[in-house]
Structures are given as C-alpha cells and as structure tokens.
Structure 1
Amino acid sequence: MQDKRSQILDAALTLCAEEGTAGAATARIAKAAGVATGTLFHHFASKELLIQALYEEVKQRLASALPAPEEQVTLCDAARHYWDTTLDWLLAHPRELRFLLGFFHSPALPLALRTRIIGETLPFLPRLLDQGVRQGCLTDCPQPLLLEVCQGQLLSCAALFVAEPERASDDQWRSAAFTLFWHTIARSPT
C-alpha cells in the first residue's frame, strides 16, 4: 500500500499529465489521492512545492531505470546509450512524459532548480558533458545550456514518437533523432 505522500504524487502526476500543472488544483489532487486537502498541505506546503517534488520524483524514477553504459565506450556511444534508454523509458511512461513536457519550461521550475535536480538525480549527465567539453568532443559552452539542449531535444523526440508510435520502432527515425541531437552538441571540425 502506498503512503499518503506517494498517493498525492501519483494523483498529481495523473492530473498534471492530463490537464497541465495549471489545471491540477490542489483540492482535485487531494480528492484523486483519497486524502484531505489538509493532508496534502501537511506533506507539501504549497502547490508549487508539490509540483517541484513531483518533477524530482519523476527524474529519480528515470534515473533508477538507466543502466550505465559498457566500460570503455566512446563519448558518442555513451551518449547514444543514455539517449536510447531514456527515450525507451519515456515512451513506456507517457504520463511522466506529458508531465515533463508541460512542466519543463514552467516558471515554477527555474533553471537553477532544474539544474540542481538534474545534478542530484542524473549525475552522470553533467559529468558526461564536462568530460566531452574537456576532451574537445562537445561544443564549449556553459553546462546549463548543454543540459537544456539535451533535455529539450530528448523531450521533443519522445513527444513525436508518442504521437507517432510507428516511428519509435523505426531504426532509421531513431538513428536520425540521435544524429540530429549529437550534431547539435558535438564540436564542429574547424
């Protein structure tokens, strides 16, 4: 049996995925979770903090589903591994994807918070980007910008593949999606 905090987060995920964060009123979230509104506010002082906790929870779920790539692979191969496994997870979890798409650029999720949550839940990503910049494989630009580009492109591709599921299993489309992503962050030969 779920604890009340988990029930609230699950209900918030469903409502936010269906109606966006603005449409998911705390009273409706509490009712869907089967708890009193006061119980919701006992666990989360505000709706903004609830939604931020949900974002962190979704990122933690994703992180727990991502195995490390094989040892001694190239940076591009490691990126492809994480791209494919993350994409597969998002496609298998459409509620989470819809929530992330609706909340990713919300003013309730400022860049500093988004960057902190990524660093805590998916620590391999900033390390991989730093490694790529140091090795000269990736464009030398501020890490928050690289993180935004990585997340934005991945979410956009996942949304396309959810809308057109036949594309998600098409190797040519999957490969092209990664190639576009990689060419966006890779250092151009001079």
Structure 2
Amino acid sequence: MNIAEPTKKEKVIAAAVKLVVANGFSKVSTAGISKIAGVATGTMFHHFSSKDDIIITAYKTAKRSFIAQTMNCRNENNVREDLKLMWYNLIEWSLNHQDEFRYMQQFVNSPYYGKELMAQDDTWTSLLDWWKAAIKNMQIKDIPIEFLIKIFSTVLYSTIDFLILHPNKRDEYLEHSFLMCWDMVGVDH
C-alpha cells in the first residue's frame, strides 16, 4: 500500500504543530514554519493568509482527527460500551499523535481560542448529539452537558498525560481511568 506524500499545506500544518509544541505560539514565525515544512514562503501564503490562519487551521485539523475517533461509537442501546470505545480510541489516537494532542492543549489555553472560534466550530456537533441522546435515555447523568463534557475531558486528558509519561502503565490504567470516568458521568441500571 502506497502512503501518499503529504501536500504542501499538510507539511505547513505539521511544521506549525511541531514548532508550537516545542516553542510556544509567540516564538513561532512564518519563516520558521516555512523552513521546517520545506516549503517556500510564497507557496505557504498561497495556502494560508497569515500566521494566525496557519495556527487556527492546524488546531481545526488536529481536532477533526481527534473527534473522528468517536465516529464509530454510536450505539444508543449500550452507551457504556460506546463511551468505553470512544475512551480507548481517543487515548490511542493521542498516544500515537502526541504533538497534535499537545498542540490542542496549548491552543485551548491560548489567546487564539475564544467564543468566536467556538461558534464557527461544528466538529463537536455529532458528539454533542450523542451525549444529549444518552442523557435523554437516562444512561448518562442528567446534569448540564457542558459540565459532563468537562468532567469527561478532564479525566481523559489527565489519563493521556499520565500515559505519555508512563507508557508501560497503559494496559493497567486504561480500564481504571475509564471506570473513574464512568462513575462520574454514567448511570448504571
């Protein structure tokens, strides 16, 4: 199977992610991105209007890939197993894409992340619908969805951070962490 060579746009995004994770947003320049990507500055600006455009596009790209890990988890009859599959898929993706995971973490704590960007972001729509249906079916606790997702995300990201630092503990802590998350958000009948 042939793996396609990344496009110039993909190379720019990957270079931006790598540089931001290593140096932070403020220390990344378009010249540095261009150099690491191996793409001429003019070509880079053919695909992006500015450094901000590159930074935001890189976040949206990473987030879409992250959220895609939840797409095959849509069995309303067994929410616990769906959530567990999401959990495992999101952790596996994050461990295999550590720069993108770190980039998303940095981005949501940066000045780039705000209500305007969130209003334009539809990557979460189907996942939000899943959570709402699970609450309606009384399989997830009936508390504000923003709070549920914050709980889920906090435990998920903490687990990922831990497993990045302790990869030998993966098998042991995957199940433990999911059970903690389920205890916080799930309803057992």
Judge same fold: TM > 0.5, yes or no.
yes
Letter in 2 for 1:134: K
Q: Give the 5 Å matches for 1:20-169.
A: 20-66=24-70, 68-69=72-73, 71=75, 73-111=77-115, 113-114=117-118, 116-117=120-121, 119-120=122-123, 122-169=124-171
TM-align CA RMSD: 2.7
Letter in 2 for 1:33: A
Q: Is the 8 A contact 2:63 2:104 kept in 1?
A: no
Q: Is the 8 A contact 2:34 2:44 kept in 1?
A: yes
Q: Percent identity?
A: 24
Letter in 2 for 1:24: V
CA 46–99 in structure 1, closer or farther in 2 if over 3 Å, else same: same
In 2, the alpha carbon distance for the partners of 1:62 and 1:41 equals 26
Aligned position for 2:18: 14
CA 188–85 in structure 1, closer or farther in 2 if over 3 Å, else same: closer
- After TM superposition, give the deviation of residue 163 of structure 1 in Å: 0.5
Structure 1 runs (4+) greater than 6 angstroms displaced: none
Aligned residues: 185
Deviation string 1:68-111 (CA, Å, 9 cap, x unpaired) is 14756421111111011111111111111221222232231225
- 3-state SS of the aligned residue for 1:22? coil
TM-score (norm 1): 0.81
The worse-fitting range, judged by mean Cα deviation, of 63-72 and 135-144 is: 63-72
Deviation string 1:95-146 (CA, Å, 9 cap, x unpaired) is 11221222232231225534753x43x5442112111222233343443443
Q: Is the 8 A contact 2:134 2:140 kept in 1?
A: yes
Letter in 1 for 2:163: F
In 2, the alpha carbon distance for the partners of 1:70 and 1:108 equals 32
Deviation string 1:45-73 (CA, Å, 9 cap, x unpaired) is 23222211111111222344556147564
Aligned position for 2:8: 4
CA 187–115 in structure 1, closer or farther in 2 if over 3 Å, else same: farther
In 2, the alpha carbon distance for the partners of 1:65 and 1:185 equals 20
